[in-house]
A = this chain, B = another copy of it.
């Protein structure tokens, strides 16, 4: 498949920020949650996810904290920052404009 590989570009950040805003999560959890919330459509590879999280943290949109799980491995939980919230609002609005513009062209209302 890989059908949506290029489509995904530009939406990854919005998707991750949205999930994290809803609830602070760690990487592995984000992959599962992304899959679940999209009805199985999205499956983020780890090679996509982790670099993306590091990028978002570097930009100050999320903040990671190592936390212990009961008798388990350490997990890095990510929290949305205030800046991250602002950027998400902008990105979500931009997504809506973009999607509307695409729909104007690929499925015009009046032929």
Contacts and interface: CB of A to CB of B under 8 A. Distances in A.
Interface string A56-69: 00000000000000
Range for the number of chain A residues in contact with chain B: 35 or more
A50 interface: no
A4 B106 CA distance: 17
Interface string A82-111: 000000000010110111111111111000
Nearest to A8: B10
B9 A102 contact: no
A104 B37 CA distance: 7
A102 B95 contact: yes
Contacts of A97: 41
Contacts of A5: 10
B11 A7 contact: yes
A7 B9 contact: yes
